[in-house]
Structure 1
Amino acid sequence: MLKRIAAVTLLTMLPAGAFADAAKGEKVFRKCKACHAVGADAENKVGPILNGIVGRAVASVPDFKYSSVLTDMGEAGKTWTPEELAAFLEKPRAYAKGTKMSFAGLRKEKDRMNIIAYLASFEDGGS
């Protein structure tokens, strides 16, 4: 159900006639693999695992030490909706001033939407 909601939300965020493509998102995710993992065998690295991130509370992966700004967001009830993920992925340090994430961001909206579609395909357990 969460995947369907995420997919519908992604479609409404894109310009008319555009569609998010999880397969293209997998290619974009190569930029993230040094620090993050997805899938059944995913483990925390420099960054937390991203299984089930779409719809999950911010800073909620067990056994991962988040920056205080993300911890505060999670405690305030913020969740990783497709819109929030898109804003974070565009410029992480502008979205969450003080984040430990050193990634500069994804400039292209299409790349952000595709990677969110890819991440939405992984539930909490990695399936």
Structure 2
Amino acid sequence: MRHLGLTVAAAAVAAALCGCGKSSTTSSDQSQASQPSATSASSQPAEPTPEQKKQAVAQLPAPYNTGDLDNGEAKFAVCKSCHTLAPGGPDMTGPNLGGLFGRKVATKAGYAYSDPLKAQSFTWDAAHLDTWLTDPKAMVPNTKMTFPGFKDPKDRIDVIAYLKAETSPHS
């Protein structure tokens, strides 16, 4: 139990650091969400293999197809306090990102997007993610997302490659 409390506390610290704002999820909700149930564990998709991740990243246009997945994962750590990646995973302060690539902006069922984001008409791809991850509020003024962005272009390339590897459907 002590470990779980530290996990929730670490998530709260990460949320404060990334500026994601407060989640409407309570600590007990977060604790329950982090413990897979017997039924949900069997229905969750299997973790993609390294080869599947490599194939997903190879589908990206240059330079995103050269992304460093380890650095992308490390940089994405600040995002984990607000977003989950597994297809069908829970929404948090931000929406679950499973199946992100190729999805029209602000259309993930069950998530309450801001009106400015709902007014957009693009589909998520590497180029739109790059612009978004540079400075979300510059791309879509008055969005709910308070994350200031990744200023280093290499970090954005790596995060985009990591997102592609982790959120794409794998067979």
- Interval of TM-score (by shorter of Structure 1 and Structure 2): 0.7 to 0.9
- Taking the aligned partners of 2:57 and 2:163, their CA distance within structure 1 comes to 13
Structure 2 residues not aligned, in runs of 5+: 1-54
Q: CA deviation at 1:4?
A: 5.7
**TM-score by structure 1 length?**
0.81
Deviations 1:4-51 (A, max 9, x none): 6742x1xx246xxx9211222111110101111112562100000111
Q: Does 1:91 align with 2:144?
A: no
User: CA offsets per residue over residues 46-75 of structure 1, 9 Å max, x none?
Assistant: 0001111122110111100001111111xx
More helix by share: 2
Aligned-partner residue type, residue 28 of structure 1? K
Select 1:26's aligned residue among 50, 66, 73: 73
RMSD: 2.4
Q: TM-score, normalised by structure 2?
A: 0.61
Would the aligned equivalents of 1:6 and 1:54 in 2 still touch at CA under 8 Å?
no
| AA in 1 matched with 2:168 | E
For structure 1, the 5+ residue unaligned runs are none
Query: Is residue 2:65 matched to residue 1:3?
Result: no
User: How many pairs are equivalent?
Assistant: 116
Structure number with higher relative contact order (C-alpha < 8 Å, ≥ 6 residues apart): 1
36-45 or 63-72: bigger deviation: 36-45
In the other structure, the counterpart of 1:106 is: 150
Larger Rg: 2
Q: Deviations over 1:69-97 (max 9, x none)?
A: 11111xx3x11110000000000100000
Deviation beyond 2 Å, 4+ runs, structure 1: 2-7
